[in-house]
Amino acid sequence: MTKTIDTTTSTSLTIASKVKDYFQLIKFTLSFTVVFSCVICYLLAPRVVEYDWLMIILLFIAGMLVTGSANAINQAVEKDTDAQMKRTKSRPVADGRMSAKEAYTFAAIAGILGIAMMWYFFNLSSALVSAFSLFLYAYIYTPLKKINSIAVLVGAFPGALPCLIGWVAGQDDFSAGAWILFGIQFLWQFPHFWAIAWVAHGDYSKVGFKLLPSDKGPTRFTALQAIMYSVLMIPVGLLPAYFHLTGKVSLWIVLVCNLFMVIQCIRLYKDMDVKAARRVMFSSYIYLPIVLLALLADKLHMA
């Protein structure tokens, strides 16, 4: 009897451990954030006037599968570099708890299933953009990180494509709203990612990742670039109201959020330290959900 209980307990622990590994493999928190953008942009599409929770759940699942597939490929490709960095060495492939073959197998199944779901339940356009986003992230951005800092620019495209995917899934076209939402998230990524690269510069430089705009590492040039992109976010943030996608309430909320990001980037330029970079990083984490939810709330208010 005791042996049976011990075996059951051991099996439960093994299953729990494997589930935890897969959550790490798909970078669940990051994937959730990405899919959150996709779902909100789907709901912002003018054709989506009533909430069909089944469709929302299906979009969320499909998005998690595609994003999880890209992240699994990323970890399989970067298993050796991940093993050398403090912040990533405990990932399942890097740590040896999961083979690269298992990660690639999962990625293939998840990617195909996610793209098929986008096609079957939504439309071909959203499926094709999903496939392109997966390819761009896994096979262009990932290897490019060791070659040139232009990787950040390249990576910003798959990072912003979830907005495009969500809009196209709901609207079935590539109208102005799709590109405005894409533009907001595209520009947001530069101060966001450079702040992360600033904080983790020691780890990144150790494995040869070139993710800051200056090859000399964290410099005033990097901070100046962050200011420039955060300033560009201001006019783009006004476009949803200009094109009557949303109203004046969200316009003011987005404007305040954009000015707050500019201020944080200016503080980084002034202080030039990790503490200031962390302020930019955490401000960017807060920025995106506030802006997207403000736009959605304003659309509902106008309906």
For the chain, the domains span: 1-147, 175-303
Q: Taking the CB of residue 32, how many other CB atoms lie within 10 A of it?
A: 14
pLDDT at 4 over 80: no
Query: Residue 42 pLDDT more than 60?
Result: yes
Residue 8's pLDDT is 58
pLDDT over 60 at 58, yes or no? yes
Mean pLDDT of 8-20: 72
Q: What integer is the mean pLDDT of 14-18?
A: 81
- Whether residue 235 is predicted with pLDDT greater than 90 in this model: the reply is yes
pLDDT at 7: 57
Output the pLDDT for position 89. Answer: 86
The torsion angle over the Cα atoms of residues 182, 185, 186 and 191, rounded to 10 degrees, is 170
Q: What is the pLDDT of residue 244?
A: 87
- E strands in the chain: none
Predicted confidence (pLDDT) at residue 39 exceeds the cutoff of 70 = yes
- The pLDDT assigned to 195 comes to 93
pLDDT score recorded for residue 1: 53
Cα-trace Rg, the chain: 20
9 pLDDT above the threshold of 70: no
Residues 6+ apart with CB under 8 A from 29: none
Q: Which letter, b or e, does each residue of 109-138 get, where b requires 16 or more Cβ atoms within 10 Å of its Cβ?
A: ebbeebbebbbebbbebbbebbbebbebbb
| CA distances (Å), origin 82, targets 68, 130, 139, 153, 214 | 17, 26, 17, 22, 23
Comparison of pLDDT for 211 and 6, the residue scoring more: 211
pLDDT band at 60 (very low <50, low <70, confident <90, very high): very high
What's the pLDDT score for residue 84?
Answer: 87
Per residue in 236-264, pLDDT (tens digit) is: 999 999 998 888 899 999 999 999 999 99
What is the CATH code for 1-147? 1.10.357.140
- Rounded to an integer, the average pLDDT of 70-80 is 93
28-44 vs 53-77: helix crossing angle, rounded to 10: 140
Take residue 284 and report the two structure tokens written for it: 């960017």
* Residue 210 vs residue 98, higher pLDDT: 98
Q: What tokens does 270 get?
A: 């002034």
The vertex-274 CA angle with 272 and 275, nearest 5°, equals: 95
- At residue 278, the pLDDT reads 95
The Cα 54–Cα 38 span in angstroms is 15
**Helix 53-77 × helix 124-135 angle, to 10°:** 20
Report the pLDDT averaged over residues 24-49: 93
Q: Is the dihedral of CA 49, 55, 60, 66 positive or negative?
A: negative
Both tokens assigned to 148: 């040139």
Distance CA 187, CA 225 (A): 11
